[in-house]
Structure 1
Amino acid sequence: MKEDQGRNAKKESDPGEILSEAPLSKNNAITFPVDSALPELKRSLAANRPTILIAQPGAGKTTRVPPALLHEPWLEGRKILMLEPRRLAAVSAADYIADSLGGKTGETVGYRIALDNKSGSRTKIEVVTEGILTRMLQTDPSLEEVGLVIFDEFHERNLQADLGLALALQSRAVLREGLRILVMSATIDPEPLSDVLGGADVIRSEGRVYPVETVHLGAARDLPLERKVAQAVRRAWEDTEGGILVFLPGVREISRAREELTRGGGLAGAEILALHGGLGREEQRRAVRSSADGKRKVVLSTSLAESSITVEGVTAVVDSGLMRTQVFSPRTGMSRLVTLTESLESADQRRGRAGRTAPGICYRLWSREEESGMPPSRIPEMLQSDLAPLALELAAWGARDPKELDWIDVPPEAGYAEAQALLRRLHALNEEGGITEEGRAMSDLGVHPRLARMIRRAADPDLGAHGLACDLAALLQEQASSSAPVGGTVTDTVSLLPRLEALLAASRKRNPGMPRTPEDRAAERAARLRRIAGVTESSDGEPHRAGLLLAYAFPDRVGRRRGGGRFLLSGGRGVCIPERELLSREEYVVAADIDDQGSEGRIWLAAPIEADDLNLFAAEEGIEETRVEWDSDRAAVSALRIRRIGAVILQSAQASSPDPEAVGAALLEGIRAADGRILPWGKEARELQNRMMFMHLADSEFPAADDATLLAELEEWLLPYASGIRNETQLKRLNLPQLLEQRLTWEQRRTLDAEAPTRLSVPSGSRIAVDYSDPERPFMAVKLQEMFGRSETPRIGRGRVPITLQLLSPARRPVQITSDLANFWKETYFEVKKDLKGRYPKHYWPDDPNGAEATRHVRPRK
């Protein structure tokens, strides 16, 4: 049953909610809950103990702890390094701490993030994003200039945070015993973390408490998300007086919700703002801070505002219950951006944003029943991310196996093996898993290994595409981090080229006074990459080479058209492009973005690769080989000269003189694929095989000859006699009985003839064939009259196996089957005799079969 969506919907009051983090003031008389924990924290760090600080949002841990430790004697003049999971959080924290100390950002307090650096030689508290720590450790593993590393908001469990902690712990254990480590979080379970830290002091600090009501709206499932959000926002607008913070999964949903709120009206005087990582610094600050003219704000945010960031003036939260994240598939080697239901842990974090300065209210767009099925906590990125960047960093660190370091969650073996395989293909690792010179240079660029390889290869003056590679890398990074595509205002095509043109145009016409677009952000990334890579030339006029550069980044995603918009990738996976796309008619493309849905993924972003560039790439990264294999359709060995990139065959032609060993191996492959049916199995060959099988059962020292053994040992008994044979017709010329006999020594052949004879003499003088079709029970079909005078069953196999006798009437119809002839004469013969004598009165039916004379005729002849 759906929840009531009206004003009388069920409300839950939670007095345990905590106050969100607030900025510090220059007035240090203001106290925060974390202040009471500072003495214990200082004692723990002074004793050089790894420390975990559990401090709820609002306790002041981010802005209060670093300056409180600034003058501790054990720092010995070194700096405090604090890691934040998001760029905006890093900048905001640095600004707040600098303000609290009466200074400016870039002096005593500074920050360093991917696209910005505001710190200097005097900086003693440096706030950085997690990837920056990794770069610092790779440059200086002992972190000589750092006295304390603080991992803030560690409960988010980002891949870079886990990596940074593992490297810092090894640095502390091996190089710098005096390096202090402090982990701060609001919700993390401290026990697993303490184990990784080798036993840590756990210090707790509670936040200031304001009650937050929780309203489960249980919105109708058939309504678009933006309609559900707009309804909840309008209700919050009427029920509350402060700002409203709305959590949405991505930029696209933010844009749609903003349009719906603007179009629907009912929010007179509202300032509707977006908040996500792709915005410019001033746009982000405007969303976070109180409105200068006192307007009520509606802030539409991604999970960016879930922790670390304080949106001032908020008294109501609207939570969509959704989040967007990258999920990696080791099966396909591809990542995809997926929208998932958030965890209960995240929902509680979001709800807490409503109770910063006064009692608040949180509107959830799901029912209480639905809440019971939500995951309790978020999945660490380590368990669902592309591990190629991690594997490259570990190789640069000198670790061949991730188990050499301490982790909360060890990198999954399948994902890590896939990552190493990719790095070998990108020339970053050697076959032993060690980093190459190329891999080390790639690591220094600080981008995904795929993009690093592309930039490095494009640096070759013969290509003349170094700048273009930086632009492409920036474009792909922006595509991955934002659901608003670069060039999205220009085209919806999957072709990368129009998006690249949009980026180049943004680079030429950037207007600092206008809000940043995805194109602007990509242009800024490109400029930074150009500086790091030492690029000076322009990439204008080079977009046609995008396909070649993408091939260096994605050697496993070079695709050849199969028709109907379908392509086969060099990695072996099938993909498709909608046939309405012009790109679907290209012979060759390189895919940069593919989903992992179903048997054939869909290409979302790709570029064509021209013939000359394809040949250039194939000359470097392709394989030329003679492929000798069994063609089941022709029942013959096929020998082709192949030029290929992975699974994509570029050219093939008949090979004139293939390697005889390869031909022989392919022939045996074909025989095995057909379960031996294409061998010339005649009656004589099968009879010989069955006799050999019987002897093996009777005497284990005798060679096995069953089908499975013969197929497994083709190299021994067949291959030496198969020279020049390439098809089934030629196989038919083989003398198979003779080849089977070659498996036996001369002595074994004598034994076979003696102990598994093809015929046996019976009392009548006839030689009767022995049937070994069931090697466990060989039998003879013989007329009953021809066995008169013999009391015991004939035996073979060194006298161990009695022959099963199928005793026949004069008309050669079976009348009895026995393996105990003596018992037959004694117990059954006389009953059989009555019947046979009635039907064949002229024939000889003695009363004493043991003493009677055997005969092949109606009666014995004297």
Structure 2
Amino acid sequence: MLSDVSIDLPVRPVLPALVAALGSAGSAVLVAPPGTGKTTLAPLAVADAVAGRVIVAQPRRVAARAAARRMAALLGEPVGGRVGYAVRGERRAGPHTRIEVVTTGLLVRRLHHDPELAGVDAVLLDEIHERQLDADLALAFSVESRATLRPELWLLAMSATPEADRFAALLGGPVPAPVVRASSALHPVARVWAPPPRPVAPSGAGPVDRALLDHVAATVRRALREQEGDLLVFLPGVGEIAAVAGRLAELGDRVDVLRLHGRQSGAEQDAALRAGQRRRVVLATAVAESSLTVPGVRTVVDAGLSRVARLDLARRLGALVTVPVSRAAATQRAGRAGREAPGQVYRCWSPGAHERLPAQPEPEIATADLTGFALELAAWGAPGGTGLALPDPPPSAAMTVASETLTALGAIDANGRITERGRAVVAVGAHPRLARALLDGADRVGADRAAQVVALLSEPTVAGPGDDLGAAWRRLRAGTDPAATARWRAEVRRLRAALPTNPSGRSQRPDQPGWLPDELAAGLLVGLAYPERLARVRRPGGSAYLMSGGTAAELAPGSGLAGVDWLAVAVADRAPGAASARVRLAAVLDEGTARAAAGSLLRREREVAWSDGDVVAREVLRLGAIGLVDRPLARPDPDEIAAALLTGLHDTGLDLLTWTPAARALRERLAFCRYAFGDDWPDVSDEALLAGAPRWLGPELAGARRRADLARVDVVGALRRLLPWSLAGRLDDLAPERIAVPSGSRIRVDYADPAAPVLAVRLQETFGWAEAPRVGGGRVPVLLHLLSPAGRPVAVTADLASFWRSGYRQVRAELRGRYPRHPWPEDPTTATPARRAGRRS
């Protein structure tokens, strides 16, 4: 077949060596930079060397179709002859097809159906460096198939990046596969650094900064002025393509502004890949990074962004995050400008920023939802991927979440092995959650309606604007968007054929019992797929919802779904740090349908707990985190009530109790004894009292029912329960509550500071004392706060003898004139103490 092609591309000289390597080793790695022709010429050369069919696997549908068309055109034949293709929902191949280009996902399906790949003599895995999940699986399954079933099968990995040794080791087993390298790109590509004039905000899970989109449009206009030929502009997603197209609308009178992305129909993609009569600007996503030649392109404008999937494992919500492109991907993009002639790339970032870019894109296995991946491994007979030639092991946390999901679906058993149910799910060829909705929903809403809704969920790009799934379904059935409708109907046909015979589903009619209108049918199917995303509005008429999985969710401002009582959320994402997830696509349903969709989440619970500052005793029916029915319990268990009160005490603190002066004084005396005499005495710190509350408060809680009862607890009696009998009798001796002073008064001791107990007493009542009293069995002197006749402190001392000798004279001189009716003797140690005013001395 290669002999029928006269085109000379840089990869051609190494093709004989490549075929020889495959003939001797059975596997090989071809490293060829962008623009060298590996995607089109290598399959032709391999087909010349084998008798059977050659399968070429591409990560993307647009690339698979384009590669097949390119090879067929080189042979001067229509697609479907010696060269054909197959993607999901579309196949153009026949009995004479020698080379069939398929998506990696479709190759995985075929390997499950026929691990020997009967009739296939060679498998070529193109763009293996892109590291999509299906590409990793296709590589691992192909390697094992060749090793155990088809040693004569040729296996070739093709890449535009230099990580050849890694893939050579995976393909070759004990001896690495040979590596064949092609020369660099045919034409040089000059770099033009074109950073924005001002810094732009990073995107993350939010929208791309409008300033950057303005700058990209301005850079396109600049490149049109400075360069010749067509332009290829790389943007992260369809929304950004539409935004930049709008900014370039004024070019329409002299330049064709075209779009190229995965949401388009094959005809629309073909139009972008054909040379035109006028100059063209092709706005593209990453689908144009590799395996595609856009004719006429001499200039690439690169926004420097890529959109990747991230999974929030805790909430099981995915999000598309905009990240800086890797250096390897930037090289791939730049190479699009040098396919046919010397070109240039305008990079919308600086050389310094370029050096900070990651070297390679992050593999999908590191960030994506692995539920489907885990099921594929189980269906292959290798749960967890053990023993397979995977480029990277799957992250354990993501695999745990995936296994939990598959177990809940009944797709795998406790040992991770696939079940019969799991095989039925795999046969559908959709995400396991969607396959479950199709299989279980067909009997409930009809096979046709089930296939239609699941097709919309599996191809969310056809939904169009807005977040109302029911409205999107109506638009697709009406055919208002022909391209989207064509893709949707093709997927509907495929899913409908994947269903087993289902007479009850097919014959369901509106007049049958249990028939659901379309709106609720859509909600039921979404709920079957994502039961943890059933959501109820928090306030009537609002836009805030609580999902059954416990995550808060918000509708976009102006959503027509606002105020709907119940939603089945099909698509939602949550930006890092955001309080709520944002609902992107949802269907309306009611409580009854929600219960039917997620019956496994229904829980009837008796709840006795501390909630909102008091004990709540109720019977609750919940759908996951959503409370449906709430009734008071007539006779709650006293032990559960006590436990709830203790929880409240821990959550709120000891101030829930009434700390009378006597209670505070007793606690302080106990703290003093522990300070003075050690751990034999009870610890009455907040932490210790809360930890030991069941012991010292238990009896007091026996009759309590609510918060108010805690305020009536006898804290003094409860604290005394902490004292063992051997210490109880010593408390008054070691930490007396009051001390008798010379005047005969009994004054309360303040033990707030256990290191220095305080006795506040009028100075006249201490006359006759030679020394300050002591507590703690005579170990600890009391700190005297000596007061004026008006009760104001005039001196603080623990050494009364020293005060009488020196400090008293100054106090006497200052106060005797102010308080003439009170005694101020010259020698207080021999004077008679006085409780009240009397004759001055």
Relative to the length of structure 1, the TM-score reads 0.77
Query: Match of 1:774, SS?
Result: coil
Residues of 2 paired with 1:754 and 1:175: CA distance?
92
Deviations 1:459-501 (A, max 9, x none): 4x4x24343232212112222xx3xx43x4xxx5532223223
* Corresponding residue to 1:501 among 474, 482, 485: 474
* Corresponding residue to 2:526 among 542, 550, 555: 550
Cα separation, partners in 2 of 1:581 and 1:697, compared to 1, 3 Å: same
Equivalent position of 1:467 in the other structure: 448
Residues of 2 paired with 1:371 and 1:102: CA distance?
42
Cα separation, partners in 2 of 1:140 and 1:665, compared to 1, 3 Å: farther
Query: Match of 2:433, SS?
Result: helix
Equivalent position of 2:36 in the other structure: 59
Does 1:748 find its partner at 2:765? no
Residues of 1 paired with 2:728 and 2:386: CA distance?
58
* Corresponding residue to 2:58 among 58, 76, 84: 84
Once the 2 structures are TM-superposed, how far is the Cα of residue 565 of structure 1 from its aligned partner? 3.5
**2:739–2:747 CA contact under 8 A, matched in 1:** yes
**1:243–1:315 CA contact under 8 A, matched in 2:** yes
Once the 2 structures are TM-superposed, how far is the Cα of residue 521 of structure 1 from its aligned partner? 0.5
Once the 2 structures are TM-superposed, how far is the Cα of residue 342 of structure 1 from its aligned partner? 4.3
Equivalent position of 2:543 in the other structure: 566
Equivalent position of 1:533 in the other structure: 499
Equivalent position of 2:435 in the other structure: 452
Larger displacement relative to structure 2 (406-415 or 543-552): 406-415
Once the 2 structures are TM-superposed, how far is the Cα of residue 56 of structure 1 from its aligned partner? 0.6
Amino acid aligned to 1:129 = T
Equivalent position of 2:669 in the other structure: 691
Q: Matches of residues 663-742 of structure 1 in structure 2 within 5 Å?
A: 663-698=641-676, 699-742=678-721
Equivalent position of 2:459 in the other structure: 478
In structure 2, stretches of 5+ residues that fail to align are 199-209, 511-516
Residues of 2 paired with 1:149 and 1:797: CA distance?
91
* Corresponding residue to 1:627 among 594, 607, 625: 607
Query: Match of 2:750, SS?
Result: coil
Once the 2 structures are TM-superposed, how far is the Cα of residue 118 of structure 1 from its aligned partner? 6.7
Residues of 1 paired with 2:213 and 2:259: CA distance?
16
**1:25–1:100 CA contact under 8 A, matched in 2:** no
Query: Match of 1:563, SS?
Result: coil
Equivalent position of 1:774 in the other structure: 753
Query: Match of 1:583, SS?
Result: coil
Cα separation, partners in 2 of 1:837 and 1:630, compared to 1, 3 Å: same
CA RMSD of aligned residues (A): 5.1
**2:143–2:389 CA contact under 8 A, matched in 1:** yes
Query: Match of 1:658, SS?
Result: coil
Larger displacement relative to structure 2 (690-699 or 143-152): 143-152
Amino acid aligned to 1:533 = L
Query: Match of 1:308, SS?
Result: coil
Deviations 1:63-86 (A, max 9, x none): 4545666799xx9x9987654211
Q: Matches of residues 114-153 of structure 1 in structure 2 within 5 Å?
A: 114-116=88-90, 127-132=101-106, 134-135=108-109, 151-153=125-127
Query: Match of 2:34, SS?
Result: coil
**2:327–2:358 CA contact under 8 A, matched in 1:** yes
Equivalent position of 2:487 in the other structure: 521
Once the 2 structures are TM-superposed, how far is the Cα of residue 742 of structure 1 from its aligned partner? 1.6
Deviations 1:808-848 (A, max 9, x none): 45665434323345655666566656667786797475759
Deviations 1:656-681 (A, max 9, x none): 23343332222222223331222122
Residues of 2 paired with 1:45 and 1:755: CA distance?
98
Residues of 2 paired with 1:84 and 1:36: CA distance?
22
Equivalent position of 2:206 in the other structure: none
Query: Match of 2:105, SS?
Result: helix
Query: Match of 1:608, SS?
Result: strand
Does 1:614 find its partner at 2:581? no
Once the 2 structures are TM-superposed, how far is the Cα of residue 144 of structure 1 from its aligned partner? 10
Residues of 1 paired with 2:357 and 2:180: CA distance?
30
Larger displacement relative to structure 2 (565-574 or 30-39): 30-39
Cα separation, partners in 2 of 1:324 and 1:786, compared to 1, 3 Å: closer
Residues of 1 paired with 2:43 and 2:590: CA distance?
55
Does 1:593 find its partner at 2:593? no
Residues of 2 paired with 1:45 and 1:690: CA distance?
91
Query: Match of 2:568, SS?
Result: strand
Equivalent position of 2:262 in the other structure: 277
**2:534–2:594 CA contact under 8 A, matched in 1:** no
Equivalent position of 2:616 in the other structure: 638
Larger displacement relative to structure 2 (731-740 or 609-618): 609-618
Once the 2 structures are TM-superposed, how far is the Cα of residue 707 of structure 1 from its aligned partner? 1.8
Percent pairwise identity = 37
Amino acid aligned to 2:669 = R
Once the 2 structures are TM-superposed, how far is the Cα of residue 505 of structure 1 from its aligned partner? 4.8
Amino acid aligned to 1:277 = G
Equivalent position of 1:389 in the other structure: 372
Cα separation, partners in 2 of 1:848 and 1:724, compared to 1, 3 Å: closer
Amino acid aligned to 2:564 = E
* Corresponding residue to 1:212 among 170, 177, 189: 189
Residues of 2 paired with 1:437 and 1:130: CA distance?
25
Residues of 2 paired with 1:820 and 1:78: CA distance?
109
Amino acid aligned to 2:273 = V
Deviations 1:693-712 (A, max 9, x none): 22232312322111222223
Larger displacement relative to structure 2 (766-775 or 244-253): 244-253
Deviations 1:551-579 (A, max 9, x none): 12222222223234313222334434468
Residues of 2 paired with 1:527 and 1:413: CA distance?
36
Cα separation, partners in 2 of 1:260 and 1:548, compared to 1, 3 Å: same
**2:825–2:831 CA contact under 8 A, matched in 1:** no
Deviations 1:209-261 (A, max 9, x none): 31234456779998996997599479749953x55544454456667877888
**1:290–1:313 CA contact under 8 A, matched in 2:** yes
Deviations 1:151-207 (A, max 9, x none): 432332323334555677899999999999764322355687789899967654322
Residues of 2 paired with 1:702 and 1:120: CA distance?
92
Query: Match of 1:351, SS?
Result: helix
* Corresponding residue to 1:307 among 282, 290, 312: 290
Residues of 2 paired with 1:85 and 1:172: CA distance?
21
In structure 1, stretches of 5+ residues that fail to align are 1-22, 510-514
Residues of 2 paired with 1:148 and 1:696: CA distance?
84
**1:332–1:596 CA contact under 8 A, matched in 2:** no
Amino acid aligned to 2:706 = N
Q: Matches of residues 96-107 of structure 1 in structure 2 within 5 Å?
A: none
Residues of 2 paired with 1:830 and 1:256: CA distance?
91
Cα separation, partners in 2 of 1:493 and 1:246, compared to 1, 3 Å: closer
Residues of 2 paired with 1:717 and 1:432: CA distance?
49
Query: Match of 2:655, SS?
Result: coil
Once the 2 structures are TM-superposed, how far is the Cα of residue 684 of structure 1 from its aligned partner? 1.6
